[in-house]
């Protein structure tokens, strides 16, 4: 398992010409929520909000993965490219180079945190014509790259936040799907099952194609374990907000 020794903060701008349109969100693994007041599952919504794509998350239900299908912006692909180039460690199941045509799209999966542009207020990120947001990348959380089919969304995220992950680590009560609370095994299952529905097996590197299920599972474990180990790195985390940190995926 990798250990986080450095956090890279990237201020990114998402250029657009939108005037506040609804984001096309679709959810997989839907189940009734245990807490209708909980807002953690929408932790990545500010990315869409900043670029004038208004997300709506149902309070009555929880889900395993939130998928965003549009409106698409060129900045979404550029965001994926940036996440790959700035990640210290990459786990590729195909050629990750954006300039190489492998015959299909790819997706980068990474644990990251987000912060508003200024004054700790998300309204400052929704700037006219260019949403501005800060991403935090941790060198102990590798980026996974997989080939995907045409079913893959523009981006997606796991609803579990770093705050929930930490809470489960120190909980004395049972955790997991039975009580609707976080467990690493449950998140691992949710992410792997969803990725298995969009991964393009024929475009996986031949050396690992026959055992891609095991390889994918181990790589997702590295990402989750890297996030769980962040408690040992508190002085390094700086402005990383545990309630705005989790696993996100971008297609490119």
pLDDT score for 174 = 64
pLDDT score for 4 = 83
What are 201's two structure tokens? 């097996």
Per-residue pLDDT of the chain (252 residues; tens, 9 = 90+): 678 888 999 999 999 999 889 999 999 999 999 889 989 999 999 999 999 999 999 999 999 999 999 999 999 999 999 999 999 999 999 999 999 999 999 999 999 999 999 888 999 999 999 999 999 999 999 999 999 999 999 999 999 999 999 988 777 666 667 677 899 999 999 999 999 999 999 999 999 999 999 999 999 999 999 999 987 777 777 778 999 999 999 999
Answer whether 0.75 is exceeded by the pTM: yes
Burial class (CB in 10 A: 0-12, 13-18, 19+), 238: exposed
Concatenate the DSSP letters of all residues of 23-83 into one string: --EEEES-EE-S-TT--GGGTTHHHHHHTTEE----SSEE-SEEEE--S--HHHHHHHHHH
Place of tokens 């693994």: 29
């Amino acid at each position: 398992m990798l250990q986080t020794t450095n956090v890279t903060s990237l201020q990114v701008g998402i250029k657009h010409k939108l005037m506040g349109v609804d984001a096309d969100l679709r959810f997989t693994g839907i189940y009734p929520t245990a807490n209708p007041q909980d807002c953690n599952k929408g932790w990545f919504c500010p990315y869409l909000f900043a670029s004038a794509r208004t997300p709506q998350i149902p309070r009555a239900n929880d889900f395993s993965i939130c998928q965003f299908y549009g409106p698409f912006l060129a900045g979404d692909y550029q965001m994926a490219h940036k996440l790959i180039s700035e990640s210290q460690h990459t786990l590729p199941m195909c050629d990750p180079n954006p300039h190489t045509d492998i015959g299909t799209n790819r997706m980068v999966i990474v644990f990251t945190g987000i912060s508003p542009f200024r004054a700790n207020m998300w309204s400052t990120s929704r700037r006219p014509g260019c949403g501005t947001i800060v991403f935090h990348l941790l060198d102990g959380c590798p980026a996974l790259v997989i080939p995907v089919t045409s079913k893959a969304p523009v981006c997606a995220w796991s609803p579990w936040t770093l705050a929930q992950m930490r809470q489960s680590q120190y909980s004395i009560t049972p955790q997991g799907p039975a009580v609707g609370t976080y467990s690493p095994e449950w998140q691992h299952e949710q992410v792997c099952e969803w990725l298995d529905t969009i991964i393009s097996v024929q475009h996986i590197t031949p050396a690992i194609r026959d055992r891609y299920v095991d390889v994918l599972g181990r790589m997702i474990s590295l990402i989750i374990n890297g996030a769980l180990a962040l408690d040992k790195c508190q002085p390094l985390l700086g402005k990383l907000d545990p309630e705005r940190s989790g696993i996100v995926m971008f297609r490119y």
